[in-house]
Amino acid sequence: MTDELARANKTKPDEMVLTKEFNFTSFVIALDVDSSSGEIKPTTFEVTGNAPALFATSGYWDMDTPYARADGMPSKILLYADPERTQLLDVLELTTVPGKDVVLEFRLVRYAEGNPYLSYTYRLRPKTN
């Protein structure tokens, strides 16, 4: 968790590791897709595990763009309450996509009057059996 106001004002502490504070061991997000038409289309998502629920735990998802942005800005996973994708619940900013080290990283940013005040960073690895 990052205190965006503390970071902007260069005061400490500005970060806290929540896994230690809340003693949770698992967080899984399943982003389901439909590829029956030959095109991959986002469908539903579900969050499981014993981590604190900081955003919606189920619903529908989409991307704001199907490709990485040329301007370096993060692509966004859009979380919706309804299949028509009209009721936006949350936005997750993709900060790292799986590559050589197989990590997916995204941030959930909370805003007040258009200004970020708190963010949560998730660093996820594939589930191992």
> Is 32 inside a domain boundary?
yes
Residue 100: what pLDDT? 67
Bridge partners, 29 (sequence order): 47
More confident call, 7 vs 78: 78
How far is residue 128 CA from its own chain's centroid? 21
> Is 129 inside a domain boundary?
no
The vertex-59 CA angle with 54 and 64, nearest 5°, equals 85
Residue 64: what pLDDT? 92
In which element (H, E) is residue 21 found?
helix 18-22
> Is 112 inside a domain boundary?
yes
Q: What is the pTM of this model?
A: 0.80
Identify the DSSP state of 85. Answer: S
> Is 115 inside a domain boundary?
yes
More confident call, 67 vs 60: 60
For tokens 């949560």, what's the residue? 120
> Is 43 inside a domain boundary?
yes
pLDDT bucket at 129, cuts 50 / 70 / 90: low
The number of distinct structural domains making up the chain is 1
Task: Let me know: does 27 contact 47? Beta carbons within 8 Å.
Answer: yes
> Is 62 inside a domain boundary?
yes
The sign of the torsion formed by the CA atoms of 51, 55, 56, 59 equals: negative
Query: Left, alpha or beta for 81 (phi > 0: left; psi -120 to 50: alpha)?
Result: alpha
Statement: residue 90 has pLDDT above 90: yes
